[in-house]
Chain A
Amino acid sequence: MQRSTTSRRVRGVAVLLLSGLLALTGCTAGSTDKPGASGEKNKLTVALTGEPVNLDFTTTAGAAIPQAMMSNVYEGLVSVDQTGAIKPLLAKNWVTSADNKSYTFTLEQNVKFSNGADFDASDVKFSIDRVKSSAWLNGLKTKMDVVENVEVISPDTVKVNLKRPSQAWLYSMSTLVGAMFDPSGVEDLANKPIGTGPYALESWTRGDSIKLAGRDEYWGSAPGIKNVTLRYFADAIATTNALSSGDVDLVYNMQAPELLSSFQSKPEYQVIEGTSNGEIILSMNNKVAPFNDKRVRQAVMYAIDRKEVRDTAWNGLGTLVGGPVPPTDPYYEDLNDVYPHDPAKAKALLKEAGAENLDITFTVPTRPYATAVAEVVFSQLKDVGINVKIKSAEFPAVWLDEVFNRHDYQMSVVLAVEARDVLTMFNNPDYYIGYDNSKIKAEAALADESDETNYIAGMKNVVRTIVDDAASDTLFIFPNISVAKAGLSGIGANSVTEALSLASIAWS
């Protein structure tokens, strides 16, 4: 008797537990849709690493947000093509005043935001004014400092007056600071982005994927694939695994070149190698010993064999440039010969500086490229008598705190992804690199205020001075590697903007 009541009770508890679990996990568990490529022509699944923390780049830094949002959900007046040239987008055309201080844009008509609001000149004024207001908390907002005011001439004509001529400003308008917003669409940018782009946000399952849907009322040509899922993975191996097992169609900006070989040999895949705006910068703190001595910095430049670094750390992928400018920028020039690999010269310079048997600390962020690069740099510096102590720093949290904010470091390495960032990095002595910009400040300002030809010539000089001064060593330009199913076309090989532009991609 005793036994039967007890066992009934046991069963009761078990049933209770189980039903509780079922109720809890019921039908909404995870509420994730099936990830995976269905093979349908109007669907695309893209694998990316590093999920955005929210979707609001006006208040949150990080490359993941503009990667998903720009070009797709948001558009600017102008855009940049695969070669780095500025092209019309929401502005049909523009006229520059004789003194180069005003730009008059004629806007596309019949453009609507995804919430139904019309796009017109007042939105341009609203968007630019907003960047300058305290609503924007992204450091890039300083790109808009040069704007004096915005005048609405007519619904489709808008005039932007600058405080001084600026060649760099129009380019900035193609980046996230130039994104166009509507006053009725900025309430919850972190979760509900509203732009004029070919796609609108359909849903976002945090920790998993973002779904974008092509907009029927889009003003331009319809996107090649209507339903796009951006799936986020923790690491590169998970992305290629998902590609192999057919869950995704495209791995964009792949971060593990050693995994490429298994796809290169198979006809059902294509491997696309392009260039990006990202420079792998071996940064030296110009303000602290021993790198406050130019000779020591030069010794490092001679000691490093950049080709060997790239070949060993990143499987030979990436472009050797010798300076902090990617080949797609207008003022690029090949500076590989300024500091060739010359260990003897490095040793001589160290001796001259009285810095033989130097001990330095190398703060390495926890990123695949950084750890790979650090090992090669370690041994190359050892060859010239610099003893490197590697210190790992969690990226981004600890690295930003220690290196970027407190400048508490001697040497570090980081992928600088921002477009046209040479002046951000070197024209500010308070930046973490601490380069003394007295030699370039005037010339950089002059170049920006002059016409395009002189801008390019002036910037080339500025870059040359930075490299001559051995402010930091640009190891190589980070490659933009995409691995895709063979049937996909229209994938931009180069990552010249901060966006992954989806509209051009289609199944053939």
Chain B
Amino acid sequence: MLVRIAKNLARFIVTFLVATLAVFSLMRVLPGDPAVIAAGENATPEIIAQLAKEFGTDRSLPVQYWEWFSGILRGNFGVSYVTRTDISPLVLDKVQVSLILVVLAMLLALVIAIPLGTLAAVRHRKLSGALISGISQLGIAVPGFLLGIMLVTLVSLRLGWLPANGWTSPGDEFGDFLRRVILPVTALAGVQSAILMRYVRSAVLDVMHEDYLRTARAKGLSPMKALLKHGLRNAAIPVLTVTSVQFAALIIGAVVIERVFVIPGLGSMLLTAVGNRDLLTVQSVVMVLVAITLLINLMVDVLYTILDPRIRAAE
């Protein structure tokens, strides 16, 4: 198990390094110069040159990369020349908002997907099972932002039950936080629960045909009891894999949802920074996203070994 974790850690570091290079290069290929944007519509060539010098964007690319990268090694993203503030505390602040959103959405998706997916598998020959499958099919087809806009129109504007957008930190006023978090989390969880439901269903279906389940039934357990006692744990492995993959998708999905619901999270920060060609901030936010995704993969890997003794035994 230790070897496995060490291997994963090595992979984590290499991926992270490659990602820093990729993000850095991509941002330089993008048309649009931060000094030009800061100088705006009254710019003179002298002012643009002076700004570029102040921003440090007139230096060679390896120098710029090294300055940024060595900063990360010291745990500091540096000072954005566009916003003129420290990036690290700002990113940390926004990470919290996005994580609340993503984790709550994932939990909601799992809470919906596991029972419904199991039910759809158990009743796969019955109408109710087919109905659940049908709904999940429909759910996959509706993009999260569209669901978000529909929820705002219906729940906020038509019915006036919940605020249309905005964000309150849970520490400030928990009730208001709840009122504002319901719609975006629902919009984010919608597609995810539909996708997960399908995986739960097929995983449970697979398990149901296994010999050990038949044995359990022969011992006199009811189909449901046999499934709960012996089946679900085995079905959990593929579901866990999908969950970890979908987690990355959720983080990306949150970028758009944050925009729709005007939530000051990483996604909004990223889009604004790209618009301003705030290169350092974009790089830093993307690296945080990369790190979160890699960390989740790492954690899932550990969870595998815990859930399934066979994986441990294989080492």
Which A residues have a C-beta under 8 Å from some C-beta of B? Answer: 2, 6, 9-10, 13, 17, 21, 24-36, 51, 53-54, 56, 59-62, 134, 137-140, 142, 188, 190-191, 205-208, 231, 233-234, 238, 241-242, 244-247, 394, 396-398, 400-402, 404-405, 416, 418, 424
Contact = CB atoms under 8 A, between A and B. Distances in A.
21 contacts: A13-B303, A21-B103, A25-B96, A30-B167, A30-B264, A59-B38, A60-B40, A61-B42, A61-B43, A190-B84, A206-B90, A207-B264, A208-B264, A241-B165, A244-B157, A246-B163, A396-B37, A398-B32, A400-B43, A404-B41, A418-B41
A238 B259 CA distance: 9
Contacts of A30: 93-94, 96-97, 167-169, 264-265
B170 interface: yes
- Interface hub of A17, A28, A33, A61 (most chain B Cβ within 10 A): A61
B144 to A, nearest CB: 16
Interface string B19-62: 00000000000111100111111111001101100100000000
Given A34-B173, A35-B166, A416 B96 contact: no
Contact of B41 (A36, A205, A208, A400): A400
Interface in B226-265: 259-260, 262, 264-265
A2 B310 CA distance: 13
Chain B binding surface, main DSSP class: helix
Interface residues of B, number: 67
A31 B166 CA distance: 13
Given A208-B264, A241-B157, A405-B43, A397 B309 contact: no
A208 B99 CA distance: 17
A29 B92 CA distance: 9
Given A29-B171, A206-B90, A234-B262, A17 B299 contact: yes
Given A35-B167, A400-B36, A21 B99 contact: yes
Interface of B: 30-33, 36-44, 47-48, 50-51, 54, 82-85, 90, 93-97, 99-100, 103, 152, 156-157, 160, 162-173, 176, 259-260, 262, 264-265, 268-269, 271-272, 275-278, 299, 302-303, 306-307, 309
A34 B259 CA distance: 18
A53 B44 contact: no
Nearest to B160: A245
Nearest 10 A-B pairs (CB), nearest first?
A: A61-B40, A139-B42, A397-B32, A27-B171, A207-B264, A190-B84, A241-B164, A29-B96, A30-B169, A35-B166
B169 A32 contact: yes
Contacts of A17: 299
Contacts of B85: 54, 190-191, 206
Contacts of A9: 306
Contact of B157 (A54, A140, A245): A245
